[in-house]
Amino acid sequence: MTGLKKVCDLKRKVTMSLKANDVAKSGAMAERWPGERGNHGRRHNSSSSNSYLKRASLVLRTLNNFMASVDESIEDDHVPALWPGLGMEEVPLPSREASWVLEDARSVWRRMCDPRDLSMPLPADGYLKMWQLQCPNLQAGLEI
């Protein structure tokens, strides 16, 4: 599939916003953290569900950082350095968990970019990022 055709095929997946719950329900995140279960068809207790949604929120923040960047791939510096702790405080995200968030963000991005995967929506910022990654020639056809 050519790059332009792929971007055009993605139009039917575009949503104005993507929420952490969308990421959590997609099943795109691996279940690596102790005692954690996703929200995709399995029973789980409220504390593990809360942990899963917090991680989904970190994955979403990572994706938003990537989509707002000029970078061509999701890297370590897109992962937030802080993790929501107890209450309203944020605590440093341990490196092991940061690597898991990075892997999950890459997995979610692949699914967002797949025009056949309608269960994982693509936010408008993601659509623009896909277009940016095509390296469009903005000067083509313009007379200055």
pTM of the model: 0.77
Would you state the pLDDT for residue 2?
55
* Through-space distance between the first and last CA atoms of the chain, rounded to whole angstroms: 33
C-beta separation of 114 from 9 below 8 A: no
Specify the higher pLDDT residue, 139 or 55: 55
**pLDDT band at 24; cut points 50, 70, 90:** confident
H helices within the chain, ranges in order? 3-9, 20-26, 46-67, 95-113, 124-133
The yes-or-no verdict on residue 131 having pLDDT over 60 is yes
**pLDDT band at 102; cut points 50, 70, 90:** very high
| CB-based contacts of 30, cutoff 8 Å, min separation 6 | 100, 103, 104, 107
